[in-house]
Amino acid sequence: MNKVFNHISKNLLLIKLFIRELNKERRKILMTIAGIAWGTLTIILLLSFGDGLANQMMKSRKGLGVNIVILYPGQTGREYQGLPQGRGISFREEDCDLLKNRIPYIDRIAGEYDSWGNSFKYKDKMVSEKVRGVSSIGYEDMRTHFPQEGGRFINKMDLQERRRVIFLGTNLKERLMGDVDAVGETILINGFPFKVIGVMQDKMQMGMYGGPDTETAVIPASTFKTIYGNEYLSRIIYQVNEIDRSEYVNSLVRQTLGSKYRFHPEDKSALHFWDTIKNTKVTRKVFTGITIFMGLIGALTLVIASVGVANIMFITVKKRTREIGIKRAIGGKRGLIKFQFIMEALLIDLTGGLIGGSVAYLIVFLIRNLIGKGDGFGEGMAMYMLSQPNFSWTVAITTASILGLVGLLSGFFPARRAAAVDPIEALHYE
Amino acid sequence: MIDMNNIKKVYDTGKIQVEALRGVNLQIEEGDFMTVVGPSGSGKSTLMNIIGCLDKPSEGEYKLNQKSVKNFNDNQLSEIRNQDIGFVFQNFNLLPYASAYENVEMPLLFAGMSGKKRRERVEYILDRVGLSERMGHKPNELSGGQKQRVAIARALVNNPKIILADEPTGNLDTKTGENIMQLFIELWKEGNTIVMITHDPRATKYSEKAVKLIDGKIKNQTMD
């Protein structure tokens, strides 16, 4: 124990002296530290923004839905079993149950009915918007229709009893009702009274069909049918539980519906799939690529800065040749000289890294907290995407290891030269 | 204690080979005060470097405490320099950023001595050379004589077997040089072994052995 303490205190004393030696070249060292700090700042900001961008992108994708495939009816593309080409396919609500029962990889499934240009009325305010009927519970999880506090989404009883209840998109609610607490209020749609049961939580939505969800009203499919009399669904949406199987699931869907509606299982135009899972995977790959690219740029900046550190270390080795000689003459071992120079390089890198890291953290923190999150689309969307840089552990660890590596490299070669100094020549070196 | 047998040192500078030492035989016993004289380029410093284990002979055998130096590796030689040898140079060779105290402390740090012992030892030695008042001063705040006293303290601090001094009074004025020489003589009288390159008649007066080097060879070795 005592020995360990001695060892540490001895090294601390030596380091104290090393720092004093470094003090003599303060200006150059400050420049180098600034270089390392700049490199660190660059790499962290690039990685943080890359990470944040990818996160926001993924979150926005989730605005449309989580691992969902959107299925549209089409027209047959070829003759099959004596039936002509160009025959229209239409979905019914039962098809959802059929698919769910036949295909175990489908977690949730729902049919949607759409009706456009309905007049919404609340008190004396009128708005014209779309109404969507949805046929199953669990839709809220699948299509991220989460209710704000105090409200709820459509449930089983609503569906069974064809209740006139309505779930409003955020923007639609605001346009129609303003700041009023909507839950429990009654609004009129084409003259029919509906009770508001929930308002959707605000969300970012990248992909959409028929307008953003924030502008849509959702009612139970059963209620929808009694009012509008629709027989056929506009589309079917299903959630796949194993994302790697989405294509296989899609082919099963084509087979199942093909045998029901009698079209060829290979007929590509009878059904149209919008497979968001495939898109998500592509996006993820693109962002991994971007992150690696940004990391590389940052790493290069750091490498250049580290060449600066190595350079200044080489200069100090030369300038301190005599001191190295003195230390060698009074019994300093080669390893100690090496250790000293590596320590010094590491110290410079670490200081620079800490400064750069703190500044980067501050910038990330300020952007996250001070800049508005942005909303809607267009310019607001760009802000939204960039407003959430993420200084994650991965970023920190990546940067730290690159810094460490760079530090060792920038210290190693000068240290090797220092240790190789011939003490006899060094003692006469002026 | 030191036994040199037919020591040769050849510096190979590429095209030309310079023979710095051409067969030196030398014995130094514990408690000796030996002076080395000779014109510049005669190999005095080379001889000192070899005795001090900073350099290795090209040929011949050098035994320090009955052990042949040839077989030691770089780390072992460093330990010998740290433990058994104390160097004093003409140009002091102090570390400029370190205080007198820290300069003297450094060999003890290399030796790994514990904190409390180290403090006692450094203070004792600095007191011995008469510098206890100036422990915290940097070399540039000290006079030439004081600098050389720090250097002597540093050489003494690990209780070396031998002190090697290369013209220790060469950079000092007459009066200061006299004091430093006096200090060496006192140290010798206390039982230290000293080898000194010098032309100072005071030193040669006290020394028991005087070695004269000419062209890398010992010309005469007087014994009192």
Q: Which residue has the higher pLDDT, A15 or A345?
A: A345
Q: Which parts of A169-212 fold into alpha helices (H)?
A: 170-177
For residue A430, give the 3-state DSSP assignment. coil
The answer to which of A12-21, A77-86, A95-104, B28-37 has the lowest mean pLDDT is A12-21
Which residues of B fall within a CB distance of 8 Å from A1? none
Q: Is the pLDDT of residue B91 over 60?
A: yes
Q: What is the pLDDT of residue B18?
A: 86
Q: Is the pLDDT of residue A147 over 60?
A: yes
Q: What is the pLDDT of residue A50?
A: 82
The answer to which of A111-120, A396-405, B4-13 has the lowest mean pLDDT is A396-405
Decide the pairing of beta strands A192-199 and B162-166: unpaired
Q: Is the pLDDT of residue B4 over 90?
A: yes
Mean pLDDT of chain A: 85
- Is the Cβ–Cβ distance between A246 and A70 less than 8 Å? no
pLDDT > 90 in chain A, percent: 35
Q: What is the pLDDT of residue A376?
A: 46
Q: What is the pLDDT of residue B25?
A: 92
Between A and B, how many residue pairs show a Cβ–Cβ distance under 8 A? 75
Closest Cβ opposite residue B112 in set A10, A326, A329: A10
Is A332 close to B112, i.e. CB distance below 8 A?
no
And the tokens for A213? 């969800």
What is the CA A422 to chain-centroid distance, rounded?
56
A252-297 residue pLDDT tens = 999 999 999 999 988 889 999 999 888 788 888 888 888 888 888 8
pLDDT > 70 in chain A, percent: 93
Element housing A317 (H / E): helix A276-319
Is A331 close to B110, i.e. CB distance below 8 A?
yes
Q: Which range scores top for mean pLDDT: A170-179, A333-342, A401-410?
A: A170-179
Task: Pick the residue of B97, B116, B138, B163 with the most A CBs within 10 A to test the interface with A by mutation.
Answer: B97
The answer to which of A197-201, A232-236, B217-221 has the lowest mean pLDDT is B217-221
Q: What is the pLDDT of residue A64?
A: 84
And the tokens for A20? 């004093």
Decide the pairing of beta strands A125-134 and A217-220: parallel
For chain B, how far is it from start to end, CA to CA, in angstroms? Answer: 19
Q: Is the pLDDT of residue A35 over 90?
A: no
> DSSP character for A180?
S
> For residue A328, what pLDDT band results from cuts at 50, 70 and 90?
very high
Who's near A11: CB < 8 A, 6+ residues apart?
A: none
- Is the Cβ–Cβ distance between B23 and B60 less than 8 Å? yes
Q: Is the pLDDT of residue A1 over 60?
A: no
Q: Which residue has the higher pLDDT, B224 or A418?
A: A418
Q: Which parts of A65-177 fold into alpha helices (H)?
A: 93-102, 139-142, 156-160, 170-177
Radius of gyration from C-alpha coordinates of chain B: 17
And the tokens for A236? 């079917």
Q: Give the ipTM of the model, two decimals please.
A: 0.91
The answer to which of A189-198, B7-16, B125-134, B179-188 has the lowest mean pLDDT is B7-16
Q: What is the pLDDT of residue A2?
A: 62
> DSSP character for B58?
S
> For residue A9, what pLDDT band results from cuts at 50, 70 and 90?
low
Cα A107 from Cα A241, distance rounded (Å): 6
Bridge-partner residues for A193, per DSSP?
A: A188
And the tokens for B213? 């080097």
Cα B194 from Cα B111, distance rounded (Å): 22
Cα B137 from Cα B102, distance rounded (Å): 10
Q: What is the mean pLDDT of residues B64-84?
A: 91
Spell B31-44 as b/e; 16+ CB within 10 A means b.
Answer: ebbbbbbbeeebbb
Q: Is the pLDDT of residue A379 over 60?
A: no
And the tokens for B98? 């370190």
Q: Which residue has the higher pLDDT, B82 or A386?
A: B82
Cα A225 from Cα B33, distance rounded (Å): 119
The answer to which of A102-111, A289-298, A327-336, B29-38 has the lowest mean pLDDT is A289-298
**Residues from A in contact with B at Cβ < 8 Å:** 2, 6-7, 9-10, 13-14, 17, 20-21, 23-24, 322-323, 325-336, 423-424, 427
Closest Cβ opposite residue A6 in set B52, B107, B114: B114
* Distances from the Cα of A427 to the Cα of A89, A109, A218, A314, angstroms: 95, 85, 88, 18
Q: Is the pLDDT of residue A8 over 80?
A: no
Is B52 close to A329, i.e. CB distance below 8 A?
yes
Is B109 close to A10, i.e. CB distance below 8 A?
yes
Q: Is A327 left (phi over 0), alpha (psi -120 to 50) or beta?
A: alpha
Q: Is the pLDDT of residue A75 over 60?
A: yes
The answer to which of A130-139, A404-413, B110-119, B193-202 has the lowest mean pLDDT is A404-413
Q: Which residue has the higher pLDDT, A59 or A100?
A: A100
Taking each helix axis from N to C terminus, what angle separates A334-370 and A321-329, rounded to the nearest 10 degrees? 130
- Is the Cβ–Cβ distance between B215 and B21 less than 8 Å? no
Which residues of B fall within a CB distance of 8 Å from A331? 78-79, 81-83, 107, 110-111, 158
The answer to which of A45-49, A426-430, B110-114 has the lowest mean pLDDT is A426-430
Q: Is the pLDDT of residue A225 over 90?
A: yes
Q: What is the pLDDT of residue B224?
A: 45
Is A329 close to B107, i.e. CB distance below 8 A?
no
Q: What is the pLDDT of residue A318?
A: 85
Instruction: Determine the distance in angstroms separating the CA of A424 from the nearest CA of chain B, rounded to an integer.
Output: 7
Q: What is the pLDDT of residue A5?
A: 65
Cα A218 from Cα A417, distance rounded (Å): 75
Task: Pick the residue of A330, A334, A428 with the most B CBs within 10 A to test the interface with B by mutation.
Answer: A330
Q: Which residue has the higher pLDDT, A379 or B84?
A: B84
Q: Which range scores top for mean pLDDT: A270-274, A335-339, A423-427?
A: A270-274
| Dihedral angle sign, alpha carbons of residues A283, A289, A294, A295 | positive
Q: Is the pLDDT of residue A375 over 60?
A: no
Q: Is the pLDDT of residue B222 over 70?
A: no
Q: What is the mean pLDDT of residues A16-22?
A: 74
Q: Tell me which chain A residue has its CA closest to the CA of residue B95.
A: A323
| No. of helices (H) and no. of strands (E), chain A | 14, 9
Cα B175 from Cα B59, distance rounded (Å): 41
Q: What is the pLDDT of residue A425?
A: 84
Q: Is the pLDDT of residue B126 over 90?
A: yes
And the tokens for B40? 């510049």
- Is the Cβ–Cβ distance between A213 and A203 less than 8 Å? yes
Please state whether the predicted TM-score (pTM) of the whole model is above 0.80: no
Burial of A59 (0-12, 13-18, 19+ CB in 10 A): middle
Q: Which residue has the higher pLDDT, A309 or A328?
A: A328
Q: Is the pLDDT of residue B70 over 80?
A: yes
| Dihedral angle sign, alpha carbons of residues A30, A31, A34, A35 | negative
Which residues of B fall within a CB distance of 8 Å from A327? 95, 106, 110
Who's near B8: CB < 8 A, 6+ residues apart?
A: B19, B21, B22, B23, B24, B57, B58, B59, B60
Cα A285 from Cα A230, distance rounded (Å): 41
Q: What is the mean pLDDT of residues A200-213?
A: 83
Q: What is the pLDDT of residue A10?
A: 66
